[in-house]
């Protein structure tokens, strides 16, 4: 059994590298394939072994998925907002520093979640029944706050409404992987296209870093933990939505604090979702849903094995993310920036056609157009997250 667990951890790490670095190939896809194959696989191993594979893959994914967001502008739902400050770091020659900030967030989230896991068990079992009826009102309040604080309130409202309608349409039509074209257009291609007017070549990506004040680090991690808690206990609330809430509640994070926040949220979400599964028997993301199909009710010894695999995968992920980021830094400065942008856009278009077909292309073009409006009108791009917020609110109401 021990040997099988170790093999599962390292196979999960390899799968996490693929899902983390390849836009459009998500951990949910691999998890679904694994579950579909479980009837055959369980002839040779135990359910806990497959569960360890899923968790290890998911942890590695949360460390690596910011790399294509920063260097390629191809986000998923968890890293969409991170494209914007991450791209600013890239254009300053600090792409590696941007990724390091997310690694710091992810690693501290791993350690904090494991150390305080028993406390989170008590908190969720006690507080969840009290707050669950009021989550929808909290989200509405956050949306109103986002609009009212914007200097261009009318445009902020328009962008939020348009992106929300687009999100509803995208998620309610017969379409495979709707989030890829939706988010890649809204936050990826639109950002890349707008950046072309100012830059022709990327600066040399050096390992120059800025000082991270300890209060800022603690604030970002606390905000990420709060966001992870929200996603763990709230149905239909994802990491992207939680990032919006945290960015509005936690003020003066700056780009440094925000990248730490983005890095920590997905990892907090993944591990705290284990708490929700352990305490409430409820799954809050694709990986835990797959885990639930393999292990209907997790017991304490299985939980210890899973948390140990989380710690091993998280520790290895730090070194993987740093070394892979350095490779990206060397590659990305050797090509003309304009040509690189066009290649990236062609790649996203190709992935959209492959994953979502012609309907996906319509969503990609529409979301790109909507994503350009905030840059042109000088309003906050977080309003584009209406594409996820409105569908979430429709779930509650």
Domain ranges of the chain: 2-396
Tally Cβ neighbours within 10 Å of residue 94: 24
Euclidean distance between CA atoms 190 and 185, whole angstroms: 6
Residue 130: which residues within 8 A CB-CB, separation 6 or more?
none
Bigger pLDDT: 345 or 79? 345
Q: What is the pLDDT of residues 185-210, one digit of tens each?
A: 887 788 778 767 655 566 777 677 77
Return the ∠ at Cα 87 (arms to 86 and 88), rounded to 5°.
Answer: 90
pLDDT for res 291: 84
User: Scanning the structure block, which residue is given the tokens 């919006």?
Assistant: 244
For residue 150, the model assigns a pLDDT of 80
In this prediction, residue 76 carries a pLDDT of 56
Question: CA 52 → CA 45, 112, 114, 393, 394, distances in Å?
Answer: 12, 20, 16, 33, 34
Q: What is the mean pLDDT of residues 301-323?
A: 92
Show the tokens assigned to 254.
Answer: 């700056």
Residue 87's pLDDT is 73
pLDDT band at 226 (very low <50, low <70, confident <90, very high): confident
Q: Which of 137-151, 257-271, 291-305, 327-341 bottoms out in mean pLDDT, i.e. has the lowest?
A: 327-341
Which range (128-137, 243-252, 361-370, 384-393) has the least confidence?
A: 243-252
Q: Which of 368, 360, 381 is nearest to 170 (CA)?
A: 360
Enter the tokens of residue 311: 């710690």
Instruction: For the beta carbon of residue 304, count every other beta carbon within 10 angstroms.
Output: 10
Over residues 145-156, mean pLDDT: 85
Give the pLDDT score at 152: 86
Mean per-residue pLDDT of the chain? 82
The mean pLDDT value for 212-231 works out to 85
Alpha carbons 12 and 305: distance in angstroms, whole number: 14
Mean pLDDT of the region 310-317: 93
Binned at pLDDT 50, 70 and 90, residue 53 comes out as: very high
C-alpha separations of 309 from 242, 281, 313, 367 in Å: 26, 21, 6, 38
- pLDDT score at 163: 92
Interval 326-356: pLDDT, tens: 888 877 767 676 777 788 788 888 888 887 8
**So what's the pLDDT on residue 155?**
92
Helices 135-149 and 153-171 pack at an angle, to 10 degrees, of 140
């Amino acid at each position: 059994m021990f040997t099988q667990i170790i093999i599962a951890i390292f196979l999960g790490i390899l799968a996490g590298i693929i899902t983390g670095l390849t836009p459009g190939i998500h951990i949910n896809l691999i998890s679904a394939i694994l579950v579909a194959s479980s009837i055959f696989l369980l002839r040779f191993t135990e359910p806990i072994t497959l569960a360890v594979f899923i968790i290890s893959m998911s942890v590695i994914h949360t460390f690596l998925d910011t790399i294509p967001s920063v260097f390629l502008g191809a986000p998923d739902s968890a890293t969409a907002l991170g494209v914007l400050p991450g791209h600013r770091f890239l254009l300053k020659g600090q792409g590696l520093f941007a990724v390091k900030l997310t690694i710091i967030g992810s690693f501290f989230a791993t350690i904090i979640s494991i150390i305080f896991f028993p406390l989170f068990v008590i908190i969720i079992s006690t507080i969840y029944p009290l707050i669950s009826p009021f989550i929808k009102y909290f989200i509405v309040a956050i949306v109103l706050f986002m609009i009212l604080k914007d200097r261009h309130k009318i445009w902020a409202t328009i962008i939020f409404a348009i992106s929300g309608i687009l999100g509803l349409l995208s998620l309610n039509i017969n379409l495979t992987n709707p989030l890829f074209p939706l988010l890649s257009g809204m936050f990826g291609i639109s950002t890349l296209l707008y950046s072309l007017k100012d830059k022709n070549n990327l600066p040399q990506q050096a390992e120059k870093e800025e000082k991270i004040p300890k209060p800022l680090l603690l604030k970002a991690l606390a905000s990420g933990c709060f966001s992870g808690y929200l996603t763990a206990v709230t149905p239909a609330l994802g990491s992207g939505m939680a990032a919006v809430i945290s960015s509005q509640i936690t003020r003066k994070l700056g780009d440094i604090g925000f990248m730490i926040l983005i890095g920590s949220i997905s990892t907090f979400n993944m591990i705290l979702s284990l708490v929700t599964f352990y305490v409430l028997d409820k799954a809050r993301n694709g990986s835990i849903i797959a885990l639930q199909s393999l292990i209907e009710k997790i017991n304490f010894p299985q939980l210890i094995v899973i948390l140990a695999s989380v710690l091993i995968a998280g520790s290895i992920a730090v070194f993987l993310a740093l070394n892979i980021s350095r490779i990206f830094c060397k590659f990305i400065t050797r090509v003309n920036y304009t040509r690189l942008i066009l290649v990236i856009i062609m790649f996203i278009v190709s992935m959209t056609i492959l994953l979502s077909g012609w309907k996906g292309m319509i969503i990609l073009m529409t979301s790109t157009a909507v994503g350009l409006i905030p840059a042109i009108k000088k309003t906050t791009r977080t309003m584009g997250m209406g594409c996820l917020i409105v569908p979430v609110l429709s779930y509650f109401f």
